Structure 1
Amino acid sequence: MKKTNTHIIPQTKGGVGKTVLSMILATLLYEKDKTINVYEIDDNNNSNIKSNILNFKSIEIKESEELLDEVYFDSFSEDENIINLVDCGGGNDTKSILNKLSQNDMVGNNYYVPIFDDIDHINNAIDTIKLIRGFDKDANVNLIFNRCFSTEQKDIEAQFIGVFGSEEYEIESRVKELDYDNIFFIPNTNIFSILKAKNISLLDTYLHAIDLVANKHEYQKKWQQEGKESFSKKMKMFRLGKRVIELIEDVAPLKKALKG
């Protein structure tokens, strides 16, 4: 079975960072000649992400059937320059989308299931993966540990004790219950809160940051001519841009999963 260029972010638990993850994946997938469509299918949380590069659309479940047909159509075209990201809402929204995929026999997709260290998130991740495996035997399932305080193995295991268990606290490991193909980590950061407040996509910010860093002397000369107050404001954005670049470098291992 050929892997489709479709990337789906499901979790039956809401508020686990699915939209954040979709922005990260879109940034990692970006190439100049590619068209990246990001679809948020959620009856309870509609984002308003502005982008000059991404085709972002927030829709309700009732509109999803026609949209998924469009996504499926793109997969048959075998055009590797068209990439679809589907961000599913929590609870019944995710169940509904997975059910529609099952009814369409839309299989062989790449799935990314995010969790925090809350025990409920782990239970929901197990349920979500079971739903995926129930109809898509060719699925590439990636478990994403979100908001990691550290990417050191011992720190990950200590933070996500509900997954890895603990002999000290007599907590059983649940790793075997999480039937994933790959596991990845996203560091804890306030970058996404800042970008959400400004309604700017991560990809747009990242590309602008690359340009700023590459041509910083030219930009800083221009800002200096605008006065101290303007210079200070622009330098704050410059520093944020450098943090965004570092973040993308930190999550670069996810590119392995994006290849399917």
Structure 2
Amino acid sequence: MTFVIPQPPQATVAVAGTPDRFPVRRIFCVGRNYAAHAREMGKDPDREAPFFFTKPGDAVVDSPCTVPYPPLTQDLHHEIELVIAIGRGGADIAPDAVMDHVWGAGVGIDLTRRDLQAEAKKMGRPWDWAKAFDLSAPMSPLVPLADVPSVDHGRIWLAVNGTVRQDADIADLIWPVRDHVAYLSQAMTLAPGDLIMTGTPAGVGAVVPGDVMTGGIDGIGKIEVTVGPRA
């Protein structure tokens, strides 16, 4: 096969403790999946089925890293999240079969241009401009499922310059992993290489150039991201 332009590089994420890489196909993100975060964003968590938005696969960047402050925003926010890596594809997956399709898990930060998101919401437009920009999905190395203690409970936290801002437990997910992955698979066929960012707890907030974000999930991993100068 001959390509008419140079073939783009394959987006990948590190695998913990090995030189191996996990190839990334798509990134799905669950919106408002912690009740306290839904409330801090002015929504009622008891009235919504899970909903999703996407980031491009090449938005991933390995932690530790420095991410430039992105253009077009004055309000860049952090959102710490559990990441689920799909190893076996499928459609209409039953909740009790979801873990048979999961390769592993990691920790990610959904970087968000909050002012652009607020404008999009006000005008009834998609969130892509706010969520799907370059390097907007820093991630820790992924851990194979056999080495993950649980995707159902464990502390999830994020600090900025050493001050904790987000601190919760993944047990607080409104739609747990098995449920929201099954729901997503009803809308489209999941495939090996898909990543699912499962939502963020309360405490999201702004970061500025020079800030250092650290965070993690018990038993799964830690992440460190420095905000660089404006792009």
Q: Same fold (TM over 0.5)?
A: no
Richer in strand (by share): 2
Q: What TM-score comes out, normalization by structure 2 length?
A: 0.22
Q: What TM-score comes out, normalization by structure 1 length?
A: 0.21
Richer in helix (by share): 1
Q: Comparing both chains, which one has the higher relative contact order based on Cα–Cα distances under 8 Å and sequence gaps of 6 or more? A: 2
Compare CA radii of gyration and give the structure with the larger one.
Answer: 1
